[in-house]
Amino acid sequence: MSTESGETYGQQRHLLSKMWRVLREILIVLIIAVGLSLLIKTFFFRAYYIPSGSMEQTLQIDDRIFANLMVPGPFDLQRGDVVVFRDDDAWLPPIAVEQNGVQKALSFIGLLPEQDEQYLVKRIIGMPGDVVECCGSDGKLTVNGTAIDEPYVFPGDAPSDIAFSVTVPEDHLWVLGDHRAASADSRYHMDRNGGFVNIATVQGKAQVISWPMNRWGVVDAHNEVFDAVPSPASN
């Protein structure tokens, strides 16, 4: 082999070695990124899509949110929290959703919502043991006899156009949408488990609006609305 051929061969080997190092680094970064995404999806946060206006104006149609999966769990639920829960009681009609390969992959690692599962997003109004009623003589919703002012309710909506008085059973929640006139929430499903949501179906607390970019921000729980509400009488 001539000296020139040897040099060319050496340059090619060097180039291939350099390309392999770059490719290996890219693969390592991708593996770590996917691993972290799966870890985050499994234990910390998951993406969800808002398809309706039932939570306006807190959440808008087509918003993408991240829910904190550590609630309930290490962190407790509170009145006012906006929660994502499984539709175990069939509040929603069945849907058929088709996803392409890329969408399925992004859903798998938690960067897109799961399109083949049914979830709802509502605000917690009543915790276990609470007596929730609407409406009092002043037209306000009451929790354990205390009237509350609800700044998150859609402008022009009444606290409820449906009269109700419920006592939330153990391990369950009473939930309402912020757009009361456009939300088929606990009030509309009292024929199914009393309209109560089993805490075991709660996937997490809506924490952040991630999309569209002009709506980036934290989902306000307005827990302060319930500061004056006493503990349930049974406690």
- Of 122, 160, 183, 186, catalytic: 122
Is 54 a catalytic site residue? Answer: yes
- 16-20, 27-31, 169-173, 211-215: range with lowest mean pLDDT: 27-31
Q: What is the predicted pLDDT for the residue at 213?
A: 87
Q: Which pTM does this prediction carry? A: 0.75
> Which residues lie closer than 8 Å to 136 by C-beta, 6 or more apart?
142, 147
pLDDT at residue 19 in the model:
76
- Per the prediction, the chain carries an average pLDDT of 83
**Domain positions in the chain:** 1-43, 46-226
Please tell me the predicted confidence (pLDDT) of residue 227.
96
CATH topology of domain 46-226: Umud Fragment, subunit A (2.10.109)
pLDDT value at residue 42 = 47
Collapsing DSSP to helix, strand or coil, 18 comes out as helix
The tokens describing 176, both together, are: 């309402």
Q: Could you tell me the pLDDT band of residue 233, with boundaries at 50, 70 and 90?
A: confident
No. of helices (H) and no. of strands (E), the chain: 2, 12
Average pLDDT over residues 95-111: 61
Q: Is the pLDDT of residue 210 over 70?
A: yes
Mark 50-86 as b/e (b = at least 16 C-beta within 10 Å): bebbbbbebbeeebbbbbbbebbeeeebebbbbbbbe
Q: Which strands make up the sheet holding 131-134, listed edge to edge? A: 146-147, 142-143, 131-134, 164-167
Question: Which listed residue (52, 54, 160, 186) is catalytic?
Answer: 54
- Is there a catalytic annotation at residue 122? yes
pLDDT at residue 61 above 90?
A: yes
